[in-house]
Amino acid sequence: MITNQSTLTRVGALRWLGKLEEAPPAFTAYFTPSMPGPEIEKTLLAVLDRGQLLGEIAGKVEKSPTGAVVLYLMDKTLVIWPPFPLKESKVARSYDAGLLKMMLVHDWRLGLVLVRLGHYAIGIFQGERLIEGKAGTGLVHARHHKGGSSANRFARHREKQMEYFFTRVEIHAREIIEPHLKEIDFILYGGTRDTLQVMWRQCSFFNALQSKTIGRLLSVREPRRSSFEEAAALAYTSTVFEIAE
């Protein structure tokens, strides 16, 4: 069962990985994204025979949008969801954090698209340094909860406001992202998933970014220019799950 879950910043993760060298894990396993559960279990069986624990570890690995690193200590197993997709799978019968450390220290070229109804912020980053960005607002009224014909008219009006807002976001995203698209390593979105899904359905430009898009959302409360520093730091966070027998 999962006994603890924590989120680590880039600096925090590197410090934590360094401390593990004092009492190194017995093995290290890397898994790329979208690897099916049975294949994960088969890979882990080479170094771990723990029945129900094995299935729980494999399930947690399979859910990660960026792949996972599994470290086994004598009293617990650590499953790490890294900030960016792992490029290779491998197993080492020792502590081998090299691939994860390289990912964390590298300054990736990132495109961040942060959207909540009425607010957006779009930026290009080298590591956590902003290269170019734009933030703005748009009028979108809150939902009308009363019934009747007036509520229907209000709903149609609100849909038009949303459509206009998302069109503006798409225009600015093109202006900022397209000139850097060849150099961008990853695209990340932040905001609420429901809002983003409506935007993705409406705006074709974002479909063209799917090959570079990471399937996790950055939890940014209100997209503004002042949110860029927070969002860039969130892009580099790792999640660690401790699983005990």
pLDDT in tens, 9-25: 999 999 999 999 998 99
Indicate the SS3 state at residue 95. coil
pLDDT over threshold 80, residue 147 = no
Domain 2-106 identical in fold to domain 109-235: no
- pTM of structure: 0.89
pLDDT over threshold 80, residue 245 = no
Which residue shows structure tokens 């009028």? 139
Spell out the domain ranges in the chain.
2-106, 109-235
C-alpha span between 32 and 18 (Å, rounded): 23
C-alpha span between 207 and 184 (Å, rounded): 15
Q: Which H or E element spans position 42?
A: helix 37-45
- Which of 127-136, 158-167, 191-200, 203-212 is the least confident region? 158-167
Strands 109-116 and 186-191: parallel
The residue among 17 and 2 whose pLDDT is bigger is: 17
pLDDT in tens, 108-119: 999 999 999 889
Q: Are 173 and 205 in contact (CB under 8 A)?
A: yes
Q: What is the DSSP string of 170-183?
A: HHHHHHHHGGGTTT
- Which of 69-78, 121-130, 171-180 is the least confident region? 69-78
Looking at CATH, the fold of the domain delimited by 2-106 is given as 3.30.960
The per-residue pLDDT for 157 is: 57
pLDDT in tens, 44-81: 988 887 667 888 899 999 999 999 999 998 778 999 99
The per-residue pLDDT for 152 is: 60
C-alpha span between 185 and 91 (Å, rounded): 26
The residue among 186 and 50 whose pLDDT is bigger is: 186
Which CATH class, in words, describes the domain spanning 109-235?
alpha beta
The residue among 3 and 5 whose pLDDT is bigger is: 5
Closest to 84 (Cα-Cα) out of 133, 46, 122, 125: 125
C-alpha distances in Å from residue 87, one per residue of 24, 32, 98, 99, 172: 24, 6, 13, 9, 31
